[in-house]
Amino acid sequence: MTSYTDKGEKPERGKFLRFHHVKFWVGNAKQAAGFYCDKMGFEPLAYKGLETGSREVVSHVIKQDKILFVFESALNPGNEEMGEHLIQHGDAVKDIAFQVEDCDFLVKKAKERGAVIVKEPWVEQDKDGKVKYAVVQTYGDTTHTLVEYMGPYKGLFLPGYEKPLFKDQLLAKLPPGCLSFIDHIVGNQPDDEMVPISDWYLKCLLFHRFWSIDDKQIHTQYSSLRSIVVTNYEETIKMPINEPAHGKKKSQIQEYVDYNGGPGVQHIALNTSNIIQAIVNLRARGMEFLSAPDTYYDSLREKLKTAKIKVKEDLKTLQDLKILVDFDDKGYLLQIFTKPLQDRPTLFLEVIQRNNHFGFGAGNFKSLFEAIEKDQDARGNLTALTSDGDLKAFY
């Protein structure tokens, strides 16, 4: 595991401030938004659709503290771009939006360095204010929308959005999700694509390397991964970029790439200040999480005996809830992963709490992989590599 301290040159102008929102393209935006509200503790925030004059695309925006998710579907038959995206990827993340300062400058610089600009800067406004946008292509079919507020914006979300049409009375009766903000967003790549993609962020967006691991550090008996985390100068936007590494069987990263039809967002990590309460509540709401075996906690207790840090939370409670712990000499983090949120084994969520620890759970990757391999096996996808590198079902 490597942490990087060199942030590179401070950008002369233009700033990436934070994650603004994540946009999903799905088959049925109303139902998808409802699922995240019911299971993960989000609340409806804003809407754009036929009733607001949007004739082609419907958008349901949901919110939890500082986390904003937007679910979009095509309204009419024959919307080729959204239709093809669904056929290829299923319900998936289409866009990761960043709030920025000086959108024009950032786009100009990205273009000079070779970025594909999907949409040049444009402005939208309504009675609540003015917002400037631009769209840049990143890995696969994923894009980044840059969002710049031109003065204070007083609306619910962005220009053109109105109040939700309906408020589900059930949501207020459910325990809160306790999730605060987007911690990081992970992109999975095919083999040998991780370095070119992470270099793209360094070159085109002036991000820098924050952290990395290779397959010598992270592997199970069957599979392994490599990962590079890139971040903006202020280190408020963290984007791990993963790729599979060669192993005896198909890596869960490769399984993702196969079912997603190429690279894409594998998981979104949501930060909480109280993971125990969050997971008690989310489990009560019916959310499914990956499970670590009891042997993981036996081994954890042994390691913590000689550790320089002390975990404040009760280990028995963490074990009962299947929350994982990773630590170094200075601090620790607590994390847990949901099962995939759609039938394709692609996108899932992570819930994470940090206590003076800025890593990504490298100490847990092996346990996480083993838990996912168990599910992969149940799906018939824990396949062995034959001598010529092809995959065959492993029975």
Residue list, annotated binding site: 184, 267, 350
Radius of gyration (C-alpha) of the chain in whole angstroms = 21
SS3 367: helix
In order, the DSSP letters of 284-343 are: HTT--B----HHHHHHHHHHHHT-SS---S-HHHHHHHT-EEEE-SS-EEEEEEBPPSSS
| Residues found in the chain | 395
**Which token pair is 196?**
């070119």
Q: Cα 36 from chain centroid?
A: 14
The HSE-up count of residue 40 (CA atoms within 13 Å, CB side) is 30
| Cα gap 265→237, rounded to integer Å | 15
Residues placed in the known binding site for Fe cation: 184, 267, 350
User: Tell me, what amino acid is at 268?
Assistant: I
β-sheet with 15-25: strand ranges across: 43-48, 57-64, 67-74, 15-25, 92-101, 143-149, 129-137, 117-126
